[in-house]
Amino acid sequence: MDDVYREYILDHYREPRNHGKLDQPDVHAADTNPLCGDRVELDLRVKDGRVTEVAFQGRGCAISQASASMLTERIEGATLDELRALTPQDIFEMLGVPIGPARQRCALLALRVLHEGIGGSYTGRYTELDEEGAGD
Amino acid sequence: MIREVHRDFSTWNDLPWKFEAGTPAIIEAVGLGAAVEYLSVLGMEHVHAHEQALTRYALERLANVPDLTIYGPSAERRGGVVSFTLGEIHAHDLATLLDREGVAVRAGHHCAQPLMERYGLAATARASFYVYTTSAEIDALAEALERSRDVFAF
């Protein structure tokens, strides 16, 4: 089924990987999606420019939380430069299912939080995606 | 609308012309007229009766959907809208699930964040009915909700 609620997405939602907080993390970032209240908090431990440990907490829809969970798996062991280079397209490929325009904000929340934390290219770009349902 | 424009100052026309620059909303006025005529032909009492009947039916029918919580008062005291949540499924997930069953609902805080706070909710999904909505479509909504429940399998 070519469908956003495939089993592995729901699995990450029900049992998020790397869930929790780090004690005295090197990087801490958090953000909330203003329209729907989805929230992701991310902690990183970094050694020699490489992520050695990662944890996240959050609440919200299945797509936002599964995307965060999957991203934490991808982050571990990566260099900060690799992570700064991640694009929305990388996230959509990681999720592996088509994400409609109404749900892209949900899918990209974790990437936004990561880039807010480490100074990447994908930060604070709500307005581009905000045309639909802006009053909601 | 201006009265005079110079390089370093302008003056404005008198009210109400000052606020009526440009082309008036002619298309919108004609559209409003057509909408009023459409409703007048149907008769507002029939519009109201249809909405009431559908809302009563929806509240009855949706009461049978397991884990569905409906918000708001009884049918006589509401318009043709029903807000709900289904178990722990986030309203945006629920809207996506219903969408792929061909049922369009709105999901979010419905420009009523203080009310959401009062209920302790992040968001609800909301179905709304109008003159062209049928009771068969409410059945379709209820069935789609039951199938959505299976996807998250709680």
A21-59 pLDDT, tens digit each: 999 999 999 998 877 778 999 999 999 999 999 999 998
Q: How far is B4 from chain A, CA to nearest CA, in Å?
A: 37
The ipTM value here is 0.73
**Cβ-based contacts of B90 with chain A (< 8 Å):** 36, 60-62
Q: How far apart, in whole angstroms, are the C-alpha atoms of residue A91 and residue A55?
A: 18
Would you name the residues of B annotated as active-site residues? 111
Please check whether residue B121 touches A, CB under 8 A: no
∠ Cα A4 B95 B63 (to 5°): 125
Ranges of each domain in chain A:
7-123
Q: How far apart, in whole angstroms, are the C-alpha atoms of residue A17 and residue A11?
A: 10
pLDDT at position A91 is: 95
Q: Chain A window 26-55: which residues touch B at a Cβ cutoff of 8 Å?
A: 35-37
Is the pLDDT at A1 greater than 50? The verdict is: no
Residue with tokens 């049992």: A15
Rounded to 5 degrees, φ, ψ at A20 are 135, -155
Please check whether residue B1 touches A, CB under 8 A: no
Span A62-66, mean pLDDT?
94
Confidence of residue A110 (pLDDT cuts 50, 70, 90): very high
Q: How far apart, in whole angstroms, are the C-alpha atoms of residue B143 and residue B92?
A: 18
Q: How far apart, in whole angstroms, are the C-alpha atoms of residue A107 and residue A91?
A: 7
Residue with tokens 């431990």: A45
Those residues of chain B that have pLDDT short of 70 are 154
**Cβ-based contacts of A9 with chain B (< 8 Å):** none
Q: What is the number of alpha carbons within 13 Å of residue A1 lying toward its C-beta?
A: 9
**What CATH number should be reported for the domain whose range is A7-123?**
3.90.1010.10
Return the number of CB contacts < 8 Å for A and B. Answer: 45
Give all domains of chain B, ordered by start, each with its CATH number.
2-41 (no CATH), 43-152 (3.90.1150.10)
Residue with tokens 């006589």: B76
CA distances from A13 to A91, B12, B49 (A): 16, 59, 43
Give the dihedral sign, CA A82/A85/A87/A89.
negative
8 Å CB contact of A62 and B123: no
Span A71-88, mean pLDDT?
95
pLDDT at position B52 is: 96
What digits encode the pLDDT tens for the residues A116-132? 999 877 875 554 444 44
8 Å CB contact of B93 and A10: no
pLDDT at position B97 is: 93
Q: Are B95 and B128 in contact (CB under 8 A)?
A: no
